[in-house]
Structure 1
Amino acid sequence: MHLLLRTLLLLVTSGRRPPLSLWGTSSLPLRVLPTDIDIAMHVNNGMYFSLMDLGRFDLMVRAGAWRRMRAKGWAPVVNLETITFRKSLTLWQRYTIESRIIGVDDRAIYFEQRMVASGEVYARAYIATRLVSATGPVSNEEIFAEVGMPPADLELPEFLHRWREESALPSTRRPAPHLW
């Protein structure tokens, strides 16, 4: 909710930026705002994921996928994510969010996203996403029929396959009792 206005503004302004292929790389220039920082005066660790949402929206809007998804009643959701921090982004610092799809499997579309300042990677994240409709998850076949097939050479790195398997929770159709 804290980025709702920024997200709505981005959905409008991204449509005015040069178009991209969904399989290309979005580079979204931003500046660290007071609402992004914590008591240590740097971007809060949880805020990185929220800001990275903006990068994925920029890519989807500029590729024309966002309009098609919304027309179908599809919504993006994050299924799994991990991040590694290298340096802190600080108040008023300029940076870009670099976003690209790096692979797909039978359950998710995977993004790599980077926070970059002065040509250096400050943080890198891998995010597994899905599209859902009112009736449940949208299949890759439906997605690709709408937005086009991924490039033939787009191959999900093996470590992300293992990450998904090792981190997965049970399906929502199976019990997941809370036991320590």
Structure 2
Amino acid sequence: MYPFIRMTKEMIKHRNAPPLPLLGTHVSQHICWPWDIDMWMELNNGRTLTLYDLARIPLAQRTGLVKVLRDNRWGLTMAGASVRYRARVRAFQRIETHSRAVCWDERFLYLEQAMFDRKGTCCNHILYRSAVTGKGGIIPPSAVLAAMGLKETCPPMPEWVAAWIAADALRPWPPMQDAMQGTPAQDTLA
């Protein structure tokens, strides 16, 4: 079940936080509770994404995006993600999450988030492809920025973000069509 109470707590906690610029970093603190862990007694990989959600929505609130979404009856969705896990997060461990927008293109906004333990070790990092949606589909970031009253130009796209976008474009869609048609899949890793 989605942690609505925790999300409400985060929104209330950060409601009076100073506004952030579009590319500003939101920092939040979280605890890995027993209901966040898996059978190996560490933060479940799916729950990691939920904790990132708890940090990303206050980021959107502080940049003014949430107000624009409500005013225009737009939604916010994730259109892709790439996670790198490097250190375990155990039950009752405190973590600090850093969240920020990195850049955008004609359709998507790219966000990055990272969780750090108390020693400053990065436990995991995620790159998201996010989209603002309306009745007609995806709202271009340029229109979203205009609705926010911003005239910012996109910073140069980091090479690692561009490489992820290019690699993801090579991914077949819909997936596993060869397996569904009875043809054995080719091992492309060999």
TM score, norm. by length of structure 1: 0.88
Task: Assess if the C-alpha contact under 8 Å between 1:96 and 1:115 holds in 2.
Answer: yes
Give the structure 2 partner of residue 149 of structure 1: 151
User: Equivalents in 1 of 2:68, 2:12: separation in Å?
Assistant: 15
Give the structure 1 partner of residue 72 of structure 2: 72
Give the structure 1 partner of residue 99 of structure 2: 99
User: Equivalents in 2 of 1:50, 1:136: separation in Å?
Assistant: 24
Q: How does 1:161-180 map to 2 (within 5 A)?
A: 161-168=162-169, 176=174, 179=177, 180=179
Give the structure 1 partner of residue 6 of structure 2: 6
Q: Percent identity between the aligned chains?
A: 26
Return 5+ residue gaps in structure 2 as ranges.
180-190
User: Equivalents in 2 of 1:96, 1:21: separation in Å?
Assistant: 20
- Residues 134 and 5 (structure 1 numbering): CA distance in 2 closer, same or farther, change over 3 Å? farther
- Residues 150 and 48 (structure 1 numbering): CA distance in 2 closer, same or farther, change over 3 Å? farther
Task: Assess if the C-alpha contact under 8 Å between 2:111 and 2:128 holds in 1.
Answer: yes
> Whose RCO is larger (CA < 8 A, sep 6+)?
1
Task: Assess if the C-alpha contact under 8 Å between 1:30 and 1:94 holds in 2.
Answer: yes
Give the structure 2 partner of residue 15 of structure 1: 15
For residue 88 of structure 1, what is the amino acid of its counterpart? R
User: Equivalents in 2 of 1:151, 1:122: separation in Å?
Assistant: 31
User: Root-mean-square deviation (CA), in Å?
Assistant: 2.0
User: Equivalents in 2 of 1:28, 1:76: separation in Å?
Assistant: 20
Give the structure 2 partner of residue 34 of structure 1: 34
TM score, norm. by length of structure 2: 0.83
